[in-house]
């Protein structure tokens, strides 16, 4: 059992700190807390302290930052892990140190929060509403917006500003005006195209109520949607999974999942509308982790004989 294995490792390390190093009880207690937190993280992923990989140390640190743990505290926890794995190497309980080449917290770029694939599927189903012509129209609009958020990694300001003339549904893309009024072409997948087609055919006319508007997504009576209303819609759509999602999380989920599936950073940069590739490089570690996994799987001499 991972929990039992971790408990034995931590117990031996703490004894080493007290007896061999002569550290004060408060210091030993701090080590116990920090390493215990990493142990719990590993146990959720069916791993132990003895078989942890560098990617898991990185993911642990990423989770700390995502939960707003300050850099100083993260640095202390990383230091505790470095001491632990130095001890395990000296005792020959492991043959590699997973904390090697981990950036210090000062150099760490925080990867924005993203959703797991099953969480995205849950959100894309949209918020539950009572049935009726208007409610059905709003549901169709919301599903189309959610699909476009995830398909094209749009910002809230971009999606509320998309015009009818910007949508090229037959060609499978939408023209988006981003920061600084810069335009970019964003491709739309089949699922997004189908949701948009359904919205355009039946829901948008109901919401427009005979009034004209240049905007693609409308509120009741052809009103322009506010940013706050869109945020509320995304939060309502995520309520069923017990986690509050945001439009920005859908944007970053799109980028993360693309990189995980092999997209290069230049392509992701173009879709996100980043003017500088350095902004997109926050996703680099996702690409490196995938590269390592593919290498281990396919290179004939990657595995120890």
Catalytic residues: 155, 179, 248, 251, 274, 283
Alpha-carbon distance 108 to 201, whole Å?
A: 47
DSSP 274: -
d(CA 249, CA 140) in angstroms, rounded, equals 21
Q: Which residue has the tokens 């309520």?
A: 239
How far is CA 84 from each of CA 6, 32, 90, rounded to the nearest angstrom?
Answer: 12, 10, 10
Contact between residue 100 and residue 53 where contact means Cβ atoms under 8 Å apart = no
CB-based contact 186:272 (threshold 8 Å): no
- How many angstroms separate the Cα of 261 from the Cα of each of 136, 193, 286? 34, 21, 10
Q: How far is CA 227 from CA 161, 204, 234, 287, in A?
A: 10, 19, 11, 32
Distance, in Å, from the CA atom of 218 to the CA atom of 208, rounded to the nearest integer, reads 7
Q: Are 192 and 152 in contact (CB under 8 A)?
A: yes
List the one residue out of 95, 77, 2 whose CA is nearest residue 35: 77
Query: CA 84, 87, 90: angle at the middle one, nearest 5?
Result: 150
Q: What are phi and psi of 116, to 5 degrees?
A: -70, 165
**Contacts within 8 Å (CB) and 24+ apart, 218-227:** 218/141, 220/134, 224/160, 225/160, 226/160, 227/156, 227/157, 227/160
């Amino acid at each position: 059992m991972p929990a039992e294995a971790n408990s034995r490792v931590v117990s031996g390390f703490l004894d080493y700190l007290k007896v061999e190093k002569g550290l004060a009880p408060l210091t030993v207690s701090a080590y116990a807390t920090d390493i215990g937190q990493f142990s719990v993280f590993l146990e959720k992923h069916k791993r132990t302290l003895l078989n942890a990989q560098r990617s898991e140390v990185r993911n642990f640190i990423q989770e700390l930052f995502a939960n707003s743990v300050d850099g100083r505290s993260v640095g202390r926890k990383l230091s505790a892990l470095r001491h632990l794995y130095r001890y395990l190497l000296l005792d020959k309980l492991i043959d590699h140190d997973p904390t090697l080449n981990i950036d210090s917290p000062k150099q760490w770029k925080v990867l924005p929060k993203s959703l797991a694939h099953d969480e995205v599927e849950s959100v894309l189903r949209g918020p539950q509403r009572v049935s009726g012509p208007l409610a059905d129209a709003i549901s169709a609009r919301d599903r189309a917006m959610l699909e476009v958020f995830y398909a094209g990694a749009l910002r809230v300001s971009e999606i509320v500003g998309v015009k009818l003339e910007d949508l090229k549904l037959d060609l499978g893309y939408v023209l988006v005006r981003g920061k600084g009024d810069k335009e970019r072409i964003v491709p739309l997948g089949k699922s997004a195209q189908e949701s948009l087609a359904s919205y355009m055919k039946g829901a948008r006319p109901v919401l427009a109520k005979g009034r004209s508007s240049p905007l693609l997504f409308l509120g009741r009576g052809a009103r322009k949607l506010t940013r706050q209303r869109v945020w509320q819609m995304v939060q309502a759509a995520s309520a069923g999974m017990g986690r509050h999602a945001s439009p920005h999380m859908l944007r970053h989920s799109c980028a993360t999942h693309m990189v995980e599936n092999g997209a290069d950073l230049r392509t992701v940069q173009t879709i996100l509308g980043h003017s500088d590739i350095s902004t997109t490089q926050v996703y680099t570690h996702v690409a490196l982790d995938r590269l390592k996994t593919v290498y281990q799987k396919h290179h004939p001499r990657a595995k120890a004989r």
